[in-house]
Amino acid sequence: MPEIETKAQTTNYPQKIKTAILVIGGAEDKVHGREILQTFFNRSGGCDATIGIIPSASREPSLIGDRYYHIFQDMGAKEIKVLDVRDRDQGNDPGYLHYAETCTGIFMTGGDQLRLCGLLAETPLMDRILERVRNQEITLAGTSAGAAVMGYQMIAGGSSGECPNRGLVDMATGFGVIPEVLIDQHFHNRNRLARLLSAIAAHPDLLGVGIDEDTCAMFESDHIIKVLGKGTVTIIDPRAISHTNYDLAHGSEPIALHNLQLHILSHGECYDLQQNQPVKG
């Protein structure tokens, strides 16, 4: 007979809590069921969670940090701290570094992904957070801009409503939390399929992941992506690409892409990153 996990057993974090990386498409439900935020809270330890909020992508970090603070406070987190980094020197703040050593979950808010990376990339604070994520010691979540930075190659900006072309997307370097993927967010809500295709044309060794609003691609430690929320996650697999004119196309000239695989996953469905195919949840 399987052992029943009790409340007392779940307090030995991180041994009993399964950590994850939650990549959220933005505009997640903050009022009603809060399914995605509740999942982050649970994966961070539930009522034993010590949560750090990084609002650095926002131009109003105090306002956005306070909003998420009260959300996780209402859920019952044991401790919450807003890591309000507004210049790179604060990425070496002893208090923030100590909190990064002891927290069980980090949440990166939306805003401007270039601002977020500019303030935190290669700082002692972010380096330690990423190390603990890689060691599966803490749960990490990012919404909107906080999602965009998850890959090593990052979509920094661009347009929509056009065919794929070089001028449609601006690229930069992200945090490299999940280096094998290329993330776009607010995906179908802002008609960003062509933008992601343009980015994939430049980086055909990466898996494209487009995440709708109020939707989460949750990356598990067993290389499974699980979809949460009300929208879809679009997976673009370019491994079998047979032709592209990317090297010949210039500016707004259309990019051709042959033999891409595209999967659209909804709530509860999963994708296996090792087998490169959808699987039953």
Distance (Å, whole) CA 185 – CA 105: 21
Which tens digit of pLDDT belongs to each residue from 147-166? 999 999 999 999 998 999 99
DSSP states of 84-136:
---SGGGGG-HHHHHHHHH-SEEEE--S-HHHHHHHHTT-HHHHHHHHHHHTT
As a CATH number, domain 17-273 is 3.40.50.880
For the chain, give every domain's residue range.
17-273
Q: Strands 105-108 and 50-54, how do they pair?
A: parallel
The one catalytic residue among 28, 58, 198, 213: 213
The one catalytic residue among 144, 160, 162, 221: 144
On whether the pTM is more than 0.85, the answer is yes
**pLDDT for the residue numbered 161:** 86
**pLDDT for the residue numbered 144:** 98
Q: Quick check: is 221 catalytic?
A: no
The one catalytic residue among 28, 56, 186, 198: 186
Distance (Å, whole) CA 180 – CA 84: 29
Q: Which amino acid is at 37?
A: L
**pLDDT for the residue numbered 8:** 35
The answer, yes or no, to whether residue 281 has pLDDT greater than 90, is no
Tell me how crowded residue 8 is: count the other CB atoms within 10 A of its CB. 8
Distance (Å, whole) CA 36 – CA 227: 10
**pLDDT for the residue numbered 16:** 65
The answer, yes or no, to whether residue 34 has pLDDT greater than 90, is yes
Which tens digit of pLDDT belongs to each residue from 80-122? 999 999 999 999 999 999 999 999 999 999 999 999 999 999 9
Distance (Å, whole) CA 105 – CA 251: 42
The average confidence (pLDDT) of the chain is: 94
**pLDDT for the residue numbered 3:** 34
Q: Quick check: is 213 catalytic?
A: yes
Q: Quick check: is 198 catalytic?
A: no
